[in-house]
Amino acid sequence: MTTLSSSSSLFSSPLCKSRFSPTTLVSRTLSSSSLTSPAILSFSVKQHRQRNSLQVKSVAIPTETASEFDEMVSGTKRKYYMLGGKGGVGKTSCAASLAVRFANNGHPTLVVSTDPAHSLSDSFAQDLTGGMLVPVEGPESPLFALEINPEKAREEFRSASQANGGTGVKDFMDGMGLGMLVEQLGELKLGELLDTPPPGLDEAIAISKVIQFLESPEYNMFTRIVFDTAPTGHTLRLLSLPDFLDASIGKILKLRQKITSATSAIKSVFGKEDNKPDAADKLEKLRERMVKVRELFRDTESTEFVIVTIPTVMAVSESSRLSASLKKESVPVKRLVVNQILPPSSSDCKFCSIKRKDQMRALDMIREDSELSGLTLMQAPLVDMEIRGVPALRFLGDIIWK
């Protein structure tokens, strides 16, 4: 069994004389009056750690009012949670902890990393590479994790697209004096696009891959799907990418149609066989999945995008822009997780108190921000341990997702 260890404090700097021991574990909404002095629930990390190392089945966390998590967990209809934000703010930790929390509350859950720089394996302290679903040991209901291998997914996409403009078709068409039609395929530069993929392409392909998985009956059991998405820039490009790819593939398919009708006319004269039958089908399927990705992101019934941030001016500004872009793209956003908040320090640590003041200013900024103030705020403290493995994720999840 993995136990939580805390061998090193995050505050071992000479500036901080006392060992850091956070006690402010709270999730509140922005409508509450005292954001700058969050209510302190007397529930220490130490207590939590003790409970986890004893593997207590249900961790009783004091709650303030009807919980946000109640809403997230209710119903057996499948729901998708996409977690995204600036790099390094704790997206993976939050996504993995949410997945553990769902699984511990009766939902067979799948957690997927579509970030090309995966850290889900590190977070679960388990090897999840290989592009297949891997069972995660520990939670009460089934929890599976999946790291999509972007290279592999892209390769699949490439072979589908090349099959339409590849040498097989070209040679055949050249032979028939219709090579210029095939050249038009080249002008779409899909091959180039795959050699130097724009940010977002890997993710779009990864998400479409997940949809492909979920279409098969053996994956019907999952009622919660949590996505650990790539950092903000990728996510924003991803949102416009399906339209772009949809258009490109649409053009290719039209050309393919022209080629097919030209070849069948020639075939009927010369009796030649075209043995490239299913490439267009494959491409069409891919296009359909891209459209599904786009629809999934905008489906208010089943999907929610959760923005994860930290209380710094830079992160809050980026979150505000992300929220605006998501709104523009009609992606449903309701909650904002502010991670790594320093609890008030009882020691005379100057570094801690300056840092906390800065953080409180950033929280004020959130409250005053026109984009973010309408979101439900969920606060998570910076804890003095590495969030790794199911017990640690369970611990973090119980704090954030209340």
Ligand X SMILES: Nc1ncnc2c1ncn2[C@@H]1O[C@H](COP(=O)(O)OP(=O)(O)OP(=O)(O)O)[C@@H](O)[C@H]1O
- Any idea which residues carry the catalytic annotation? 115
Q: Residue type at 318?
A: E
By three-state DSSP, how is residue 79 classified?
strand
| DSSP codes joined into one string, 232-257 | HHHHHHHHHHHHHHHHHHHHHHHHHH
Angle, in degrees to the nearest 10, between helices 232-270 and 150-165: 30
Interface residue list for ligand X (CB under 6 A): 87-93, 115, 117, 119, 231, 339-340, 380, 382-383, 386-387
| Smallest gap from residue 381 Cβ to ligand X (A) | 6
Our CB check for ligand X shows the closer of 320 and 340 to be: 340
Our CB check for ligand X shows the closer of 119 and 162 to be: 119
| Smallest gap from residue 223 Cβ to ligand X (A) | 24
User: Can you list the alpha helix ranges (DSSP code H) found in 130-178?
Assistant: 150-165, 167-175
| Smallest gap from residue 382 Cβ to ligand X (A) | 4
Our CB check for ligand X shows the closer of 90 and 138 to be: 90
By three-state DSSP, how is residue 12 classified?
coil
Query: How far is it, in rounded angstroms, from Cα 230 to Cα 278?
Result: 32
Query: How far is it, in rounded angstroms, from Cα 352 to Cα 216?
Result: 51
DSSP 24: -
Query: How far is it, in rounded angstroms, from Cα 218 to Cα 38?
Result: 45
| Smallest gap from residue 224 Cβ to ligand X (A) | 19
Our CB check for ligand X shows the closer of 87 and 191 to be: 87
